[in-house]
Amino acid sequence: MSGNSGGNRPALGEILALAIRPASGIPMESRDTIELTSKEGVVGDFGKSMKRQVTILSLEDWEESILEVADSSLDWTTRRAQVLVTGVELRGFVGKTISLGTSRVTILGEVPPCYKMEGVCEGLEQALSPNWRGGVYGKVNESGVVRVGDVLTEIK
């Protein structure tokens, strides 16, 4: 793992990819870095919510889901999350604060898959439903920058 070491805290996972939605109805755009603020959530992202400011998806959960629908061509951005991580079980962080790059985010809950996933691939909504495979959402407590390769750590 490279990037931000998280200080003396043990690394729990690595940030593999980042993306934003610059406007409604268009594909996600990959980024090497994103900025998070407590006022805007993901800077430059179309979807604004004070509660669901950033969404995080596990690569392992995504891979299980696309295996179930037998369509390995689906990119992780199909899920419309902004952060893709590996090596961490996200549902265990509800109610906890984590570092994403230099920002701090409190994980508030599950992002349940919606009917729009069916429009992308038949069965995807169902495949994302078990075990929080659709990811988690959080609220930004401390602004910062997130980079591909940064590590994810729990803040004690």
Domain segments of the chain as ranges:
13-155
pTM for the full predicted model: 0.91
DSSP state of 121: S
**pLDDT tens profile 73-115:** 999 999 999 999 999 999 889 999 999 999 999 999 999 998 8
Q: Are 82 and 42 in contact (CB under 8 A)?
A: yes
Q: Are 17 and 127 in contact (CB under 8 A)?
A: no
Tokens of 22: 């610059």
For residue 109, the cross-strand partners are 137
Four-way CATH pick for 13-155: 3.40.50.720, 2.10.69.10, 2.40.33.20, 3.30.230.70: 2.40.33.20
